[in-house]
Copies of this chain bind each other. A is one copy, B any other.
Amino acid sequence: MSKGVTPQSKNYSVWYTDIVTKAELADYGPVKGTMVIRPYGFSLWENIKDVFDSMIKETGHVNAYFPLFIPKSFLAKEAEHIEGFAKECAVVTHTRLKSDGEHGVVVDPDSKLEEEVVVRPTSETVIWAMYKKWIQSYRDLPLLINQWANVVRWEMRTRLFLRTSEFLWQEGHTAHATAQEALDETLLILGLYQKLAEEYLAMPVHTGLKSESEKFAGAEATYCIEALMGDKRALQAGTSHYLGQNFAKAFDVTFQTKDNKEELVYATSWGISTRLVGAVIMTHGDDKGLRLPPKIAPFQVVVVPIFRDEESMVAVKNYLSPILSTLRDGGIRVHEDWRKESPGFKFNEWEMKGVPLRLEVGPKDVENGKAVLVRRDSGEKLFVQKDEVGEIVPKLLEDIQKTLFNEAKDFREKNTHRVSSYDDFKDTIANKGGFVRCGWDGTRESERAIKEETKATIRVIPLDENTAELKCIYSGKPARHEVLFAKAY
C-alpha cells in the first residue's frame, strides 16, 4: 500500500480521490464544481480521444465546432429536453465588469443582455437550428457531424471526473433520411463505444437499452454501455440516442425526398466524456494506485535507472541508450526518470501513476548484460537479457492489456447475480452489490418501487436479453424484459 492512500476496503470513495490527486490526474478548480485536468490525466484523456476520433473518422464522420452559448429560448423548444436540462444551466446575463472604486470589480448593470444566453449543457438545440439552414434535400443527407467540446451542467456535489460542473466530451449529432438509417447509426456508435471500452480501456461493458425513465431527455430510445466499478457499483460509460424526428419537429428541419416529397429528418446523438478516466481508475486501480491499460497509458514503460555516482550514471545511460532506441522505434511510449530521488521513491510514484511496465537497470545489470522488468498489473519481476528487452516488452504490454480485461471481466461475472425472489433481490443489492440480472414487467411502477426500496436502478436492458418463462422480480407478472439492476454512480 502506498503512503498516504486510503485502502479501498476502508473507504472506496476516499481511495478514489486519493488516487486522482496523488497520481496528479486532476485537481479542484477555484470555482466550486470545477475541475483542473493535470497533464498526466489529460494525456490519458488525449489517448482515449485519439482512439475514438480515428474510429469515427474511419466510419465517415467529420468534426465541427458549434457555439458555447445558446439562446435561452432554444432550450424550451423540445418539451422533454427542457425538463431534463433547465435545472442545471449556467446563465450569462451580463457582458462587462467595472471597478468598484476600490480594488475590486463588480458586474456592470448597464451591460445586461436583452435575452440571456445559456452555456450549453449539450448541443442538440443549437445544432438543429443550424441543420435547418444546411439541410434541404436528400442529397444533403446523411449529415454525420461530431464535436469535441466542453459542456456545463451546474453541480455542487463534485466528484473529480465523475461529476463536475464542466466536463469535456464528444457529442455526435447525425441527420438521416430514414428511421432505419438513424437506428443503424445509433447501433454503429454503440458498437464503437463497446470496442473502445473493451479493447482499449480493458473495461468489459454491457450494451443495451435504457428504460423509459432513464433515457435522455428528448430521445425515443437511449442505448448505453454500462460497466461495473471496483466497489461493485455500476457506471454509465457512454450513451447513443435514437432521437426520431423530435428535434427535427422542434426546429422544423425537413428535406426533399428523391420523389419530391417534403419530410422531417431523423436524428441521433451520442457522447462519451472525461468520465471515462474515472471509469478506468475504478475498474483497474488497487491500493498502490492506478493500473493503466497499456493501449491508453501516457507512458507504457518507465525506466528507473539505478546509480550511485556520476560515473555509474553515465555507464547506465550508455547501456540503456540502444535498448530504449529499439523500444521507441517500435512505437513504445517510454519515460526515463533520471531524478535524484531514491529508486524506492520512484517505484512508489510510478506504481501510483499506473505505468504498465517498469524497466530497472543498475551497474550490476550493466556488468552482466541484464535488465529487470516489473509488471504493474501482477507485480511480477522478470530478469531478462539485454537483447531480449526489445522483443519481450511489446509482448508483455499485450499480455497486461489482456490480463486487465480478463480480471475485470472475472470480477464482473463473479458480481453478477441471479435471484429467485424479491427478498433475495433486496438482500443481494444491500449486502453483495454488483449486478442483479432478472425479469421486469416493464412498468414504471415496479421500477420506481424497486428504486425507492433498494436504491437500485435498471442500468440496461441488455441486447442479449431472454425473457422466456421469466417473471418480474417485483410483481411476479410475466417479464416484459430481462434487465440488469444495480446501484450506480
Contacts and interface: CB of A to CB of B under 8 A. Distances in A.
Contact of A86 (B87, B97, B119): B97
Contacts of A68: 34, 68, 119, 150, 152, 166
Contacts of A39: 62-64, 145
A98 interface: yes
A260 to B, nearest CB: 16
A91 B92 contact: yes
Interface string A82-115: 1000111111111111110001110100010000
Contact of A104 (B27, B46, B73, B93): B73
B66 A36 contact: yes
Contacts of A69: 29, 31, 34, 90, 152, 165-166
A43 interface: yes
A418 interface: no
Nearest to A340: B139
A104 to B, nearest CB: 5
A117 B68 CA distance: 16
Contacts of A42: 62-65
Interface string A255-271: 00000000000000000
Contact of A90 (B29, B36, B95): B95
Nearest to A298: B62
A45 B107 CA distance: 34
Interface residues of A, number: 67
Copies of this chain, how many? 2
A96 B105 contact: no
A67 interface: yes
A38 interface: yes
B30 A70 contact: yes
A70 B104 CA distance: 15
Given A91-B92, A97-B91, A86 B105 contact: yes
Contact of A94 (B36, B73, B93, B99): B93
A105 B30 contact: no
A29 B97 contact: no
Contacts of A29: 66-67, 69, 126, 130
A130 B31 CA distance: 12
Contacts of A166: 67-69
Nearest to A93: B93
Nearest to A154: B95
A280 to B, nearest CB: 17
Interface of A: 27, 29-31, 34-39, 42-43, 45-46, 62-76, 82, 86-99, 103-105, 107, 111, 116-119, 126, 129-130, 133, 139, 145, 149-150, 152, 154, 165-166, 168, 339
Given A42-B63, A87-B97, A139-B339, 11 more contacts: A30-B74, A39-B64, A42-B62, A43-B62, A73-B104, A73-B105, A75-B105, A86-B99, A86-B105, A93-B93, A96-B154
Return the 4 tightest CB-CB contacts between A and B, nearest first. Answer: A34-B67, A39-B62, A29-B67, A86-B97
